[in-house]
Structure 1
C-alpha cells in the first residue's frame, strides 16, 4: 500500500506543479490563456492538491530519490499556490483605503447602512470551495430590444424575487467585440438581482462584420429600450449604472462618458481597454490574444490607417468634461489589457476633476471574474457592491 501511495504522490507532484506555475507565468499562446487566468482563481484547490501530494510522499517515504524530488516539487507547488493568499490582506487594505479616500464620508455613511450591504467580508475560504450562495430571482431571458440591419439583439433581465422598484445595472459582456452573449457571467447578474437590483445583460453586433461604432449604437439602443420599458421592468431610471467587462468595459465607459438616453449615475469597468491607439502600439508581452488583430477587426485598420476610429473609440479621450463616477477593477498581471492603461485613465479622470477609483488585484489576469467564487472576484464583488450602493443610493431616503 505504501508503494502505491508513493507512486501516486510521485505522479501527482509534477502535475500539481504544472498547474500551479500558471499563478505566476503568463500564457505565451491563446490555448494556454485559460490556465493563466484560472490558476490564481482556484489556488485554494491547488494548495489542497499540492499539500495532499506532499503528505502522500512524506508519510510513505522509502528513501527513493524520486520521492525526494517529488517532495521538493510539492513544496514549490505549495509556495506558488499560497501566493494569492499571502497578497490578499494587503490588497484588501489598499482597496479599502482607496475607496474611502476617493469617495469620502458619504461613502462611509452609505456602507454602514444595512440595507446597502451585500457581502460582509472581502474573502471567505468556505465560499471559495463551496461557491457563493445565490438566492432565488425572477429571470426573463431573450427579450429583443433592436434589430439593426436585420440582426436581432436580445437582453436578459434578472430581478429580485419580490415586485418593487429597483436601481438598475446594465451589463455589457466582453469577448474582443467578436463573441460573447447576455449569458456571460450570469452568476454575477443573478447575484446582484438578489441584492436588490434589476440587472439588464445586453449584447451588440460583432466585429469584423460590423465595425465601430455599431457596437456603441447598439448599447444606446438598449438604453433607449430600457428607458421606454422601465416601469414594466420595475427599474428606477434615475438610478442606473453601467458595468462592462473587457470590450464591454470600453463600451460601458464610452456610453457613460457621452450623451445617451438614460442618466447614468456610475460606470464600472472590469479590465476594459481605454486607450486603443496606445494599446495597439504597445501590445502586451507575451500577447496570447494578438491584440493588434483584434483591434484591426474592430476598428477597420491600424491607427495610421483609421486614426479617427481609434480616437473616437478610446474612453480616455472623453475625460475632460463632468462625468459620472468611475470604478476601474484590473488585474496587475493582465496580459490582454496592461495595467498601465487604467492607471493612465485614472490620472486623466482625476486631473479633470472627476471621481475615479482604480482597484488593482496583484495576482489576477484578464477575465479573472469568470471564476465567480475565486479570490479575485470575491474582492472585486465586495467593493463593486459598495460602490454601487454609494452611487445608486436613494436620495429621497
Structure 2
C-alpha cells in the first residue's frame, strides 16, 4: 500500500524543518568532538542562509501541511531555528559598536585620521554587509607565487606563498602563519584572505613551519624566525618593505606570531594580529575547555614533548604572555566568545596584561563565534574581523 503524495510531502517538510533546526542549533550548542565542531564553527557564519532555510520550511509547513500535528511540530522546529539565527543578526550592530569603541580605546580616538585616504578607499565600507553574506566578498586580481623554498632545516623544505598587488611597487609586508594545533596545515590556507589583503596594498608572505609531534617546540618558532630573516634579506625581490612588517596568525599560528614578535631580539615588527591564539599554555593545560573537542592536553603534550608536570619550564617559555617585560609591537587580539579550543578569556587576559604593561593592544570579542570562525570568508564573524583587521594593518603600516 502506497502513501498518498500529500502525506509524503508533509513528512518531507517536517524533515526539512527538523534539519533546519538541527543545523541552526549549533549556533548555540558546544561541539563535543572535532566532527561536530565543523557545524559549530560554520553555523553562526552562515546564519543568514540558515535564516532563509528556516523561513522557507516554516512557509511550507504553514501553507502545505494539512495534518495539524505534523504542521504544528514543523512550525515549532522552524520558529525555533528562526529565533536562533535571528539572535546572531540582531546582535551584529551592538557587537560592531563595541568593536569600534575598543579600536578607538586601543589605538586612539583619531586613529582612522592617521590612515592615508588612498589606503582607506580600498577597504570594506561597512563592518557587515548582508549582501556579501550571499554573494561573497569581492576579490580583485593580484599576483601569486607558490612553492618558494626559504629554508631546508634537517632536509625538510619549508615553503612560502607570496601574494602581491597587481601593480609593481614597494609595499608593507604582512607575514601570515597558519593554524592547525602545530600539527598540520600549509601556507595555502586562507588564500582568499591573503589575496584580499594583498589587493589592499601589501605584500603577503604565507609561511610554513615544521609540525609536531615529530618536531617539537621551539622548532616551530625557529622556523618562523628563519622565514622573517629570509623575507628581510629578499624583501626587494618581492617588492616588500622590511621596515614595515606585521605578523598575523591564526590559532597555533597566532601563538607563533606573538612569540616571534615578542622576542627581545626580534626584527622590527610594526604590529601583531592574533586570531584566537593561545597565550598562556600553562593555564591552558591546567584548565582545558569544557567540552574539549580537540583534547587540549594531548595537543600541548605533542607540541612541547610532555605534560605540564614533566616540563613546567617549557610551558612557561612557550607562553607569549610571559614576554611582556619590554616594549612590544601593537597587538590586535580577536576571539570568539564560544571558542572551545582557545577560550576568549585568554585573549582578554593577554589584552589586560599588555595594557597594564604600557603596550598598545586591542581586544575584540565576537559573541557567537567559535574557533576558526574566519574559515567562512564571507561569514558574519569574518566580515567584522576583516573590517577591523584591515584598519589595524593600515594604522600600523601606513599611519602618518
Aligned partners of 2:264 and 2:326 also within 8 Å: no
**1:367 aligned residue:** 372
Q: Which runs of 4+ in 1 moved over 6 A?
A: none
Counterpart Cα distance in 2 of 1:253 and 1:106: 26
Structure 1: 5+ residue stretches without partners: none
Q: Larger deviation: 17-26 or 3-12? A: 3-12
Quote the residue 1:199 is aligned against.
204
**5 Å matches for 1:43-122?**
43-111=47-115, 113-117=117-121, 118-122=123-127
Distance 1:284 1:9 in 2: 37
Q: Once the two structures are superposed, what CA deviation does each residue of 1:197-250 show, in whole Å capped at 9, x if it has no partner?
A: 100000100000011000000000000110111001000111100000000000
In 2, Cα distance between equivalents of 1:112 and 1:390: 9
Task: Please tell me whether the aligned partners of residues 20 and 39 of structure 1 are also in contact (alpha carbons under 8 angstroms).
Answer: yes
Cα separation, partners in 2 of 1:354 and 1:235, compared to 1, 3 Å:
same
Q: Which residue of 2 aligns with 1:156?
A: 161
**Aligned 8 A contact 2:115 2:399 in 1:** no
1:144 aligns with 2:149: yes
Q: Deviations over 1:279-319 (max 9, x none)?
A: 00000000000000000000011111111111111000001
Give, in whole Å, the separation in 2 of the partners of 1:17 and 1:173.
33
Alpha-carbon separation, structure 1, partners of 2:270 and 2:21: 46
Q: Is 1:333 aligned with 2:335?
A: no
Matched, 1:378 2:383: yes
The alignment status of 1:28 with 2:37, answered yes or no, reads no
What residue is the counterpart of 1:224 in the other structure?
A: 229
CA distance 1:226–1:19, shift in 2 (3 Å): same
1:353 and 2:346 correspond = no
CA contact (8 A) 1:237 1:262 kept: no
Bigger mean CA offset, 75-84 vs 364-373? 75-84
The alpha carbon displacement at 1:127 in A equals: 0.7
Question: Which among 284, 291, 316 is matched to residue 289 of structure 2?
Answer: 284
What's the offset of the Cα at 1:3? 5.4
In the other structure, the counterpart of 1:9 is 13
Q: Aligned with 1:264: secondary structure?
A: coil
1:266-305 counterparts in 2 under 5 A? 266-305=271-310
For the 8 Å contact 2:119–2:394, the answer to whether it is kept is no
**Distance (Å, rounded) in 2 between the aligned partners of 1:392 and 1:239:** 6
Partner of 2:188: helix, strand, or coil? coil
Q: Structure 2 vs 1, CA of residues 259 and 227 (structure 1 numbering), >3 Å: closer, same or farther?
A: farther
How big is the shift at 1:6?
3.3
In the TM superposition, residue 61 of structure 1 has moved relative to its aligned partner by: 3.8
Equivalent in the alignment of 2:311: 306
Maintained 8 Å contact 1:3/1:60: no
Report the counterpart of residue 132 of structure 1 in structure 2.
137
How far apart are 1:114 and its partner, in Å? 4.3
Secondary structure of the residue that 1:89 maps to in structure 2?
helix
Looking at structure 1, the residues matched to 343 and 89 of structure 2 have their Cα atoms a distance apart, in angstroms, of 23
Moved more, 54-63 or 154-163: 54-63
Question: Compared with structure 1, are the counterparts of its residues 309 and 217 closer, same or farther at alpha carbon in structure 2 (3 Å cutoff)?
Answer: same
Query: Which segment is superposed worse, 29-38 or 1-10?
Result: 1-10
Question: Who is 1:390 aligned against?
Answer: 395
Structure 2 alignment gaps of length 5 or more: none
Shift of 1:111: 4.6
8 A contact 1:212–1:298 mirrored in 2: yes
Residue 326 (structure 2) aligned to one of 321, 325, 333: 321
TM-score, with length taken from structure 2: 0.96
**Residue 57 of structure 2: SS of its match in structure 1?**
helix
Identify the match of residue 170 of structure 1 among 169, 172, 175.
Answer: 175
Q: Do the aligned residues in 2 keep the contact of 1:256 with 1:264 (CA within 8 Å)?
A: yes
Corresponding residue for residue 253 of structure 1: 258
Question: Is residue 183 from structure 1 mapped to residue 188 from structure 2 by the alignment?
Answer: yes
Cα distance in structure 1, aligned partners of 2:220 and 2:284? 19
The Cα of 1:106 is off from its aligned counterpart by 4.5
